Amino acid sequence: MQAMGVDRQVLIGDRLLGVGLPPLVQTMYDQSLPHSEEALDELVRRIGSLNAMGCDIIRFSYPKSDDRSAFTYLCARSPIPVVADIHFDYKLALEAIECGAHKIRINPGNIGARWKVDEVLASAKDHGTAIRIGLNSGSLPKGNDPPARLMSNTALTYLDWFEQAGFTASVVSLKASDEAVTIEANRLFAAQSGYPLHLGVTEAGSVVSSVVRSTWALGQLLSEGIGSTLRISITGPIETEVQAGVELLRTLGLRKRGIRIVSCPRCGRSSFDSQGFLASVEQDLLSIDRDLTVAIMGCQVNGPGEAKGADIAITGIGNAIFLYQGGELVRKVAPDEARDAFLEAVRNAE
């Protein structure tokens, strides 16, 4: 087993990842692939929306050969790189590569004999396809080491296999549902290898539990310069995964573009439905590629103050809605005009 300490950069489609480069956000499609052209085109449009929100790479399960035509269609038309998730059958890995996958995700330990892994490596090298070695704490070989060390050492062993075959377009993921194990495994690996790491806390639960647990674990690693891609795994809409990932990177100062939303919770003095208004505009805001802070405030107590620190702000009293720009009151609008006026101001802000 080698300590492969040279920093590696890996090209996934048109996205370059590696130590020192901006981390990328991923999600994984949560349904089986559709097969009609109309449904596939709708899926391509959805991927486009995810891309506009800040998603850089999307992964799909590839469990059967019946999906070959649909997956080929997506690989050719997706606006962001496509990853195929493969388990057990090396022939499916070969198919996915031939379909045009920009990266495949495998666990070499469940693909089978080493010659099968070598066949996958040879095909991936011929097609310019990257490979993610995906290890979860629940799918490791037997060993006496603690889970974190076992994960790191197993990944290093597999990378040694890959390098012996002349393959270096590798990414590694070391995930556990236990945040402490996830953190330790990735730290151990990063101290010994310069291959890019994909970060995530696996099976992290619903929105609140997943975002809290993932932010705790991934935030520490990213702050230490560990991690080239990430996925916030949520039992919920994949759009929420993307939103959470982008917001984490923005909070850490690792991504600059995108709308930063400041909004107040509801309280008894609320005179403007900030919660309802945010729900009506949030999806639009997340798809606007501008470096702006917007404030949506519920009353005149905090509203003007927050407006001074935001590029665009909105608040109201009763039927009077006030729009601020650069901290200055610029417009008073009726409730039925507020949404369009606010989004227009955001899109046209200098």
Split into its structural domains, the chain has a count of 2
pTM here is 0.88
By the 8 A CB rule, do 226 and 188 touch? no
338 and 293 in a common domain: yes
Domain final position from 223, 251, 279 = 251
Give the tens place of pLDDT for each residue, 301-311: 665 666 677 89
pLDDT at 6: 76
341 and 235 in a common domain: no
The phi, psi pair for 309, rounded to 5°, reads -95, 0
Instruction: Average the pLDDT over 15-30 and give the result.
Output: 94
Domain final position from 236, 251, 266 = 251
3 pLDDT band (50/70/90 cuts)? very low
pLDDT at 37: 95
Give the tens place of pLDDT for each residue, 165-204: 999 999 999 999 899 999 999 999 999 999 999 999 987 6
pLDDT at 140: 75
83 and 13 in a common domain: yes
Give the tens place of pLDDT for each residue, 217-273: 999 999 999 999 999 999 889 999 999 999 999 999 999 877 888 887 766 666 778
Domain final position from 184, 216, 251 = 251
By the 8 A CB rule, do 95 and 62 touch? yes
270 and 242 in a common domain: no
On whether residue 3 sits in a domain, the answer given is: no
List the beta bridge partners of residue 82.
58
222 and 292 in a common domain: no
16 and 45 in a common domain: yes
**What's the whole-number average pLDDT of the chain?**
90
Report whether pLDDT(5) > 70: no
Distance of CA 310 to the CA centre of its chain: 27
Residue 253 exposed, middle or buried by CB count within 10 Å (0-12, 13-18, 19+) = exposed
- Mode of pairing for the β-strands spanning 82-85 and 103-106: parallel
Token output for 229? 């891609």
By C-alpha distance, which of 132, 130, 128, 82 is closest to 105? Answer: 132
Question: Domain limits at 196?
Answer: 9-251
148 and 63 in a common domain: yes
217 and 265 in a common domain: no
Give the tens place of pLDDT for each residue, 111-130: 888 999 999 999 999 999 99
On whether residue 142 sits in a domain, the answer given is: yes
pLDDT at 43: 97
How far CA 123 is from CA of 14, 113, 225, 325, in Å, comes to 19, 16, 32, 55
CATH number for the domain spanning 285: value is 3.30.413.10
